[in-house]
Amino acid sequence: MTTEKKTLGGWSPEALVTEEVKKICIKEKPLIEKETKANFKGYIPLTFRHQTVAGDNYLVKMYVGVNVCVHALMFQALPCNGGGLTVTRVQYPKTASDPLVPF
């Protein structure tokens, strides 16, 4: 569970990634690379936004090269629904200055 204030259905403000979000990003790196058809030598989660719905949506900005980022939308199901984690959408390439806007 993340520590930022949650608003059911609403997106949190953009914040620095937590250890929990870093772990999710590292776990999902192969799927994000597959979606982008890229092999990232650098892969550093930077910031994220969070939304609680029938599970948790995470929108994360990852640094993957010189001023190049990827934005990934990931969904974690509730434990009562199996708790599965999926990458639902990816935007690439993005710049480091591009804001995290739900897509």
> Chunked in runs of 10, what are the mean pLDDT values of the chain (103 residues)?
59 96 97 96 96 95 95 96 95 96 95
For residue 2, the model assigns a pLDDT of 47
pTM of the predicted structure, to 2 decimals:
0.89
First-last CA distance in the chain: 23
For residue 9, the model assigns a pLDDT of 78
Lateral strand order in the sheet of 68-77: 15-16, 44-53, 55-65, 68-77, 85-94
